[in-house]
Structures are given as structure tokens and as C-alpha cells.
Amino acid sequence: MTFITRFAPSPTGPLHLGHSYSALLASDMAAAEGGHFLLRIEDIDRFRCRANWEEQIYDDLTWLGLTWPEPVMRQSSRVSTYEKALKTLWSQGLLYPCTCNRREIAAAAGAPQEGVPLHGPDGIIYPGTCRHVSERSGPIPQDLPLRLDIEVAARVVPDLFRTAAQPYTKTAVFEETGAGPEGETGPVTFTADELRDTIGDVVLSRRDMGTSYHLSVVLDDAAQGVTHVVRGQDLFEATPIHVLLQALLGLPTPVYHHHKLIRDDAGKRLAKRDDARAISKYRADGISAEQVRAMVGL
């Protein structure tokens, strides 16, 4: 099997040191395996993405010495694929509309013992307010956010949580060759109940987008034939939802390699808008691509 990986930035700001680590590592791993390094532009958020940032991405990555096959996949050109997948899930009764805003979700989630509502990969875990009141039949609603009913999904998904002997309680697994935030590596297992309790009913179709990060990423990785996903540890927690979506949509699950996050001098993760560590800034300051490599430990 040919090793295929990708770097999938969103053109919402300048790439910084953390991005250079992610892209260089993925490209190095592909080269070491005699495989391919692909680029994908994650531009589903049309309010935050800008053409000039996309141009800057190509520029920065080229300066770093990276190459990738053309044409580059851009999520904005894949709307019909996302629509089709949503229709499939809708027709199985796995989605429901929900217009609850952040404030309503926080209020409904309440404050458990420790005083902070439980958080999942998308923020506060949705308490399920609309799960049993929203209409799930008829044509798929347009322009309404749609959530995945994770418990029903876990019950109907073929193979992931079920065997003939265990129709729901089987443990799902994905292979991790890097590490999660707690050092999770090797086969990482999770149960349907853990999915429900630590992730909840995530939004699969956002208003104004007609998709979401979770839905697009699994469809695009499959369409690009990605065998190894190399990305930051901050996305480790979202991986079980990706594995569930792959099973629901009949897509293969790649191997995952979550890598360390590059931190600033105070130990804080680099923010998207950390312009001080923008690749273009180092470049303007006369730093070489080799020096950037050394700075991130490659």
C-alpha cells in the first residue's frame, strides 16, 4: 500500500511555526516511505477564508521546500459531495436540525459538580435539547444546522460497535502511530458510550456552510486516498467522531499520527494569529528554511 498523507490548512491567517512543523513532518514521513504528500485547502468557512491567505500558503510551503501534486483539492469545490453524504445520513434518521446558540447550550448543559460544563472537541458537549423535538422526516432542511444523533448512529453503524454476540458493546479502534495528549499510542480504543459522553451530538452541517470540519475532513481524506493522517495533537479528541463517520459513510479509516504542538516561549500553544511566528516573518527576517526546520526540531 502506498503511503499517502496530506497537509490541510485553512486560509484564515498566516501559517506559523506550528504549521511548518506539521507540513514538514508529513512530507518527511511520505518521503521516508516512498509515498506521496498532498495539499488540501480547507476553505469551507467563507466568512473567514481569504484568497490572499491561500496564496500565502502556497508561497510559504514552496519556500519551505515542499512540493505537492496539482491540482490542489479545495473544499469549496466539493459542496455537492458534502450534500450527498448529508442526505445519506438524513435518510437514515441520524440527523436533526438544531438552532441552539452557544449561550443556550451552556445554560442547558448546566454546571456539574466541578462548576464547568463538560467539553468535547467542539466546545461544551451539547446536552441534546433538540434531539427528541426536531423533525427528522421529509426533505432535508436547507440552511439549518444539523446535528448527528450519536447514540442512534452508534447503534446502526455496521461493524464498529457490533458483532453478532455484542450488538452495541464492542470496542472500536483506530491505529495511532504518534501520540495523543495523554501519550495514547498504538491501538486506541473507544466505546459507543464514551463517544456519547465525551463528544455528544456534533454539528455536521453548519449554517452558511452546508458542511462542517468533521464531515468534510473524512470525505476529503477518503477522496484523496489518504492512508496516514498526520496532524496536531489538538485534533486527537476529534478522531473517534471521524472513525464513526467513516464507518457510517462506508469509507476506510486511515492510520493516525498526531504530533506534538509547537509552543511559544511561555509554553502556550501557538494561536492562529500568532503573527510574530508567521513563516513569512522569519523569511522577511532573513532566516532560512533550514533554520526553521531546526527550530521545530526536524
Nearest CB to ligand GLU, comparing residues 121 and 128: 121
How many other CB atoms are found less than 10 A from the CB of residue 183?
A: 6
Is the bond preceding residue 71 a cis peptide, omega within 30 degrees? yes
Q: Is residue 154 within 8 Å of residue 249, measured between CB atoms?
A: no
Q: Per CB under 5 A, which region of 100-108, 154-162, 178-186, 242-250 contacts Zn ion?
A: 100-108
Nearest CB to ligand GLU, comparing residues 86 and 270: 270
Convert residues 3-32 into a mask of x (bound to ligand GLU by CB under 6 A) and - (unbound). -----xxx----------------------
Residue whose C-beta lies closest to ligand GLU: 231
User: C-beta of 120: minimal distance to ligand GLU in Å?
Assistant: 16
Binds 42, which of Zn ion, ligand GLU, none (CB < 5 to 8 A, cut-off by type)? ligand GLU
42 touches ligand GLU by CB under 6 A = yes
Segments of the chain assigned E as strands: 4-7, 36-41, 73-74, 95-97, 119-120, 123-124, 146-148, 172-176, 186-190, 203-205, 228-232, 255-259
Subset of 105-134 contacting Zn ion (CB under 5 A): 129-130
User: C-beta of 133: minimal distance to Zn ion in Å?
Assistant: 8
In order of 76, 99, 150, 162, 248, the CA distances from 179 in angstroms are 31, 35, 25, 27, 25
User: How far apart are the C-alpha atoms of 94 and 213, rounded to whole Å?
Assistant: 18
Binds 124, which of Zn ion, ligand GLU, none (CB < 5 to 8 A, cut-off by type)? none
User: C-beta of 75: minimal distance to ligand GLU in Å?
Assistant: 9
User: C-beta of 99: minimal distance to Zn ion in Å?
Assistant: 6
User: How far apart are the C-alpha atoms of 269 and 262, rounded to whole Å?
Assistant: 6
Binds 100, which of ligand GLU, Zn ion, none (CB < 5 to 8 A, cut-off by type)? Zn ion
Binds 130, which of ligand GLU, Zn ion, none (CB < 5 to 8 A, cut-off by type)? Zn ion
Max alpha carbon distance in the chain (Å)?
Answer: 63
How many other CB atoms are found less than 10 A from the CB of residue 69?
A: 10
User: C-beta of 128: minimal distance to Zn ion in Å?
Assistant: 8
Convert residues 197-236 into a mask of x (bound to ligand GLU by CB under 6 A) and - (unbound). --------------------x-------------x---x-
Nearest CB to Zn ion, comparing residues 130 and 156: 130
Q: Is residue 204 within 8 Å of residue 212, measured between CB atoms?
A: yes
Binds 8, which of ligand GLU, Zn ion, none (CB < 5 to 8 A, cut-off by type)? ligand GLU
Binds 9, which of ligand GLU, Zn ion, none (CB < 5 to 8 A, cut-off by type)? ligand GLU
Nearest CB to Zn ion, comparing residues 147 and 259: 147
User: C-beta of 12: minimal distance to ligand GLU in Å?
Assistant: 8
Q: Taking the chain, what is the end-to-end CA distance rounded to the nearest angstrom?
A: 26
Q: Is residue 75 within 8 Å of residue 40, measured between CB atoms?
A: yes
Continuous H helices in 120-172: 150-156
Query: Kind of pairing, strands 203-205 and 146-148?
Result: antiparallel
DSSP 165: S
User: How far apart are the C-alpha atoms of 159 and 106, rounded to whole Å?
Assistant: 34
Chain positions contacting ligand GLU, by CB under 6 A: 8-10, 42, 217, 231, 235
Chain positions contacting Zn ion, by CB under 5 A: 98, 100, 129-130
